[in-house]
Amino acid sequence: WVDVPFREVPGRHMQRHLAYWSVSEVCKVTLSNGVVGWGETLPFYTWGRVSEEACGRVIGRSPLELLWDDSLGAGLQMALWDAAGRALEMPCHVLMGPQVREACPLSWWCIDMPAEDWAAEAQEAVAQGYTHLKLKPRPWFDVYEQTEAIARVVPDYFELDHDFNGFLRDASRALPVLKRLEEYPHVKMFETPIPQQDVAGYRRLRAAVERPIALHYGVPPIDVALQEEICDGFVLGGGAFRLRQQAALCAEFRKPFWLQLVGTGITTAWTLQLGATFAYARWSAITCLNLYADDLIMEPIQVRGGFAQLPPGPGLGIIVDQEALERYRIEPPVRKEFPRRLFIVRFGDGHATCFANADAYHDHFYASNDPLFQPGTRLETWEDDGSPEFQDLYQRAQRGPVRLKEG
């Protein structure tokens, strides 16, 4: 296991809610002929962990028997593909199917953060050759201020995808927000604006909104999503066999999608190999590579014009940086220590609500217990300063959200 540091700007905000995304389990398999393959699992955000049983099940068998077995888990399956490709001296994508592209679209990714930090990340994305940025708008920030801040600092060609993860809650509340965001030319797509089970709500949104709407494949069931025409395309994730099935169905119905497989340079290389064979993987893939201060590979994956060239070598096409693995090595189980802090959401109308942790304010807003996406809203952090005021409010917030008398 390794704990890879985040870059400075995203790191400040990942610590609030997704701190464990820094932890990766790197898998290494060695074939009887000495060929080595590498893979990666983010154990706290993955479609499938690697079990001891799965490790035992592959010993003594040919990797070619196992390539499409998703039950092995992310890192082990990936490592077997890498080893098989290296043993045959060919890239993984040759084993997957006909190649349809030599470079794949790749997106920058941002967690929710203040407007100035979103703008700084957008500028860094442009500097590194990206043309697309996936954002996490949340009701504890002013999404219009955030979007405006980005629009001021990026070129005209730069594209934004706003992923609400359902926080707009229903079509009636979503429509005014989406229509206002459509006024920004950079805003090119909306992802999961309301809960995905709301078929009627999505039909209403799609009829009224000009930008494409993307949903995660499988909710509602794919036959319902296609028959009711509730979205323009999909987000795909999972193991190699599942992805091949889903990609084939998307192609049959001419629905574009992006691959979403999160990790360092190892996972990103795997995503590029897959994307090279999926004809409708036309939207920018999400691997969150930009979060990490180290990509764990010797030659960085270069992005030019929003596309990442496939690594040229066999297997995944990369060389894993084993010195980096030693530098960041940790022993499971992983437990991170966080300072005591309070989170205060201040609203444009002057009132404020205080929370003891990020889960508390996520649940609070998902239940619509405060205004959603009100202009002027901002999230503030109060670190434990030892004061009696902090201690009193912290104890109260441990029991539940606290509405402050003064904004």
Helix and strand element counts for the chain (H, E): 14, 17
DSSP 8-state secondary structure symbol assigned to residue 384: -
Tens of pLDDT along 68-102?
999 999 999 999 999 999 999 999 999 999 999 99
Residue 276 in any domain: the answer is: yes
Residue where one domain finishes, among candidates 67, 90, 113? 90
β-pairing verdict for 187-191 and 159-163 = parallel
CATH of the domain at 267: 3.20.20.120
User: Residue range 119-126: average pLDDT?
Assistant: 99
* Other beta carbons within 10 Å of 43: 18
Q: Look at the block and give the residue holding tokens 């203040």.
A: 114
Q: 130 and 196 share a domain? A: yes
Structure tokens at 384: 């434990």
Residue where one domain finishes, among candidates 327, 349, 381? 327
Q: How many structural domains are present in the chain?
A: 3
Residue 335 in any domain: the answer is: no
Q: 154 and 250 share a domain? A: yes
Residue 334 in any domain: the answer is: no
- pTM greater than 0.95: yes
Q: 116 and 83 share a domain? A: no
Q: 202 and 227 share a domain? A: yes
Cβ atoms of residues 215 and 235 within 8 Å: yes
Question: pLDDT confidence of 391, banded at 50, 70, 90?
Answer: very high
Residue 333 in any domain: the answer is: no
User: Residue range 21-36: average pLDDT?
Assistant: 98
Residue 231 in any domain: the answer is: yes
Q: 348 and 226 share a domain? A: no
Q: 321 and 240 share a domain? A: yes
Secondary structure string (H, E, C) spanning 206-267: HHHCCCCEEEECCCCCHHHHHHHCCCCEEEECCCHHHHHHHHHHHHHCCCCEEEECCCCHHH
The predicted structure's pLDDT at residue 407: 47
Residue where one domain finishes, among candidates 90, 118, 135? 90
Q: 132 and 180 share a domain? A: yes
Q: 235 and 291 share a domain? A: yes
Cβ atoms of residues 35 and 83 within 8 Å: yes
Q: 192 and 242 share a domain? A: yes
**What torsion do the CA atoms of 320, 323, 327, 330 make, to the nearest 10 degrees?**
60
User: Residue range 256-265: average pLDDT?
Assistant: 99
Residue 97 in any domain: the answer is: no
Q: 86 and 107 share a domain? A: no
* Residue 184, beta-bridge partner list: none
CA distances for 88 relative to 91, 276, 316, angstroms: 9, 18, 12
The predicted structure's pLDDT at residue 406: 64
* Domain housing 292: 103-327
* Other beta carbons within 10 Å of 389: 9
Tens of pLDDT along 171-186?
999 999 999 999 999 9
Tens of pLDDT along 281-338?
999 999 999 999 999 999 999 999 999 999 989 999 999 999 999 999 999 999 898 8
Residue 173 in any domain: the answer is: yes
User: Residue range 122-141: average pLDDT?
Assistant: 99
Tell me how far apart the alpha carbons of residues 67 and 88 are, in angstroms, rounded to a whole number.
14
Q: 194 and 320 share a domain? A: yes
Residue 332 in any domain: the answer is: no
Tens of pLDDT along 190-225?
999 999 999 999 999 999 999 999 999 999 999 999
Q: 291 and 201 share a domain? A: yes
Phi, psi of 220 (to 5 degrees): -65, 175
